[in-house]
Amino acid sequence: GQNIDQPTEMTATEGAIVQINCTYQTSGFNGLFWYQQHAGEAPTFLSYNVLDGLEEKGRFSSFLSRSKGYSYLLLKELQMKDSASYLCAVSGDTGRRALTFGSGTRLQVQP
Amino acid sequence: GAGVSQSPSNKVTEKGKDVELRCDPISGHTALYWYRQRLGQGLEFLIYFQGNSAPDKSGLPSDRFSAERTGESVSTLTIQRTQQEDSAVYLCASSIQGAQPQHFGDGTRLSIL
């Protein structure tokens, strides 16, 4: 089966750094994705990891450890507009292209 | 625009009616996906199209749900005899064949009275 866990809610301060963790157990692995979703809007793609290590993209970085079934999304220099839900998703078996999503982490950035 | 387009954006209907939701993927994207998102929950996979065929329908929750795709473009998701538990946002995504990431439309918010 497929199981993805991430914290339900997090709160952080504007200008700070926040790390959102995700653990997964899937049959097969073809990559891990992070999406950002503002309330009432579509998810937008943030990052993709298929090999172990850190991928950096501006203020956002994502880390993957396949042996531990673990990823995190790191957001630096937080801005108020970063308040959103962050969705961790895994692409499992090669033949199954669909993503399995976690329930999302709702991040609230406070002044 | 160049993104995934879904219609209608909102649909309110009475229990027992049939509804049809439409998705226009990004031009050239041969893979198309339907997901459902209930309030406060994660995305739940429904069905995946590669071209006009659906190699993975494993997420369709019951035989009231069906989907088709024509011309390797537009897809419609049909829900027959709607139930209140069908109330959710239905999201469509597309991707380039054999590659990710998936790009999402804004969804159709379906409310069953």
pLDDT tens sequence across B33-89? 999 999 888 899 999 998 888 888 889 999 999 999 998 899 999 999 999 999 999
Q: For residue B62, what pLDDT is reported? A: 94
How far is the C-alpha of B59 from the C-alpha of B34, rounded, in Å? 9
**Shortest Cα distance, chain B CAs vs residue A87, angstroms:** 8
Inter-chain touch A101–B42, beta carbons under 8 Å: yes
The mean per-residue pLDDT over the stretch B2-14 comes to 94
Identify the residue whose tokens are 């990710």: B100
**Shortest Cα distance, chain B CAs vs residue A46, angstroms:** 9
Inter-chain touch A43–B91, beta carbons under 8 Å: yes
Q: For residue A107, what pLDDT is reported? A: 98
The yes-or-no verdict on residue A96 having pLDDT over 70 is no
Q: For residue A54, what pLDDT is reported? A: 96
Residue A32 has φ and ψ, to the nearest 5°, of -125, 135
Secondary structure of residue A15 in the 3-state scheme: coil
| Residue partners of A105: CB distance under 8 A and separation at least 6 | A6, A7, A8, A9, A10, A20, A85, A86, A87, A88
Q: For residue A8, what pLDDT is reported? A: 95
For residue A96, which residues of chain B lie inside 8 Å, CB to CB? 48, 56, 58
A96 forms beta bridges with: none
How far is the C-alpha of A109 from the C-alpha of B17, rounded, in Å? 42
The mean per-residue pLDDT over the stretch B23-38 comes to 93
Inter-chain touch A42–B106, beta carbons under 8 Å: yes
Q: For residue B96, what pLDDT is reported? A: 87
